[in-house]
């Protein structure tokens, strides 16, 4: 495990996320107030890139595709494919993949950069 520069701090905005890649690994980074976070970048349900439309609310990230929701501090699933527009469809899609938590990466600030341990 080594610390890698993920993104310049000035590119982050409060309540927003960005996608960064390290080789084949995709990581979502973001900021909530003075807190920075980094998680695996793809939803555990059907691999949608969470930074592409994912919404932060109540310290959780919600996938825009079928609305699976994960806590940003420990990656725990709080909802799995509820798909509120048509819950029976969400329930069916939810069964297509096993419910899994989101991987969380340690972060630190080094100079102008947010670094993650990867």
C-beta of residue 27 within 8 angstroms of C-beta of residue 6: yes
How many whole angstroms from its chain centre is CA 35? 14
Is 63 a binding residue for ligand FES by CB under 6 A? The answer is yes
Smallest gap from Cβ 82 to ligand FES, in A, equals 9
Number of chain positions touching ligand FES (CB under 6 A) = 10
CB nearer ligand FES, residue 67 or residue 115: 67
How many whole angstroms from its chain centre is CA 102? 7
Residue of the chain from 7, 29, 43, 104 that contacts ligand FES (CB under 6 A): 43
Smallest gap from Cβ 116 to ligand FES, in A, equals 22
Tokens of 64: 């825009």
Smallest gap from Cβ 5 to ligand FES, in A, equals 28
Is 81 a binding residue for ligand FES by CB under 6 A? The answer is yes
Name every residue whose Cβ is closer than 8 Å to that of residue 29 and which is 6 or more positions away in sequence: 6, 7, 12, 17, 18, 20, 36, 37, 38, 107, 114, 116
- Residues in contact with ligand FES by CB under 6 A are 43, 45-46, 48, 63, 65-68, 81
């Amino acid at each position: 495990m080594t610390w890698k520069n993920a993104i310049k701090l000035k590119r982050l905005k409060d309540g927003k996320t960005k996608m960064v890649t390290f080789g084949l690994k995709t990581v979502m980074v973001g900021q909530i107030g003075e807190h920075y976070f980094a998680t695996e970048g793809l939803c555990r349900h059907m691999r949608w890139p969470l930074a592409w439309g994912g919404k932060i609310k109540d310290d959780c990230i919600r996938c825009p595709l079928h609305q699976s929701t994960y806590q940003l501090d420990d990656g725990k699933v709080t909802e799995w494919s509820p798909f509120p527009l048509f819950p029976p469809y969400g329930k069916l899609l939810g069964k297509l993949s096993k419910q899994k938590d989101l991987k969380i990466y340690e972060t630190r600030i080094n100079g102008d950069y947010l670094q993650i341990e990867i």
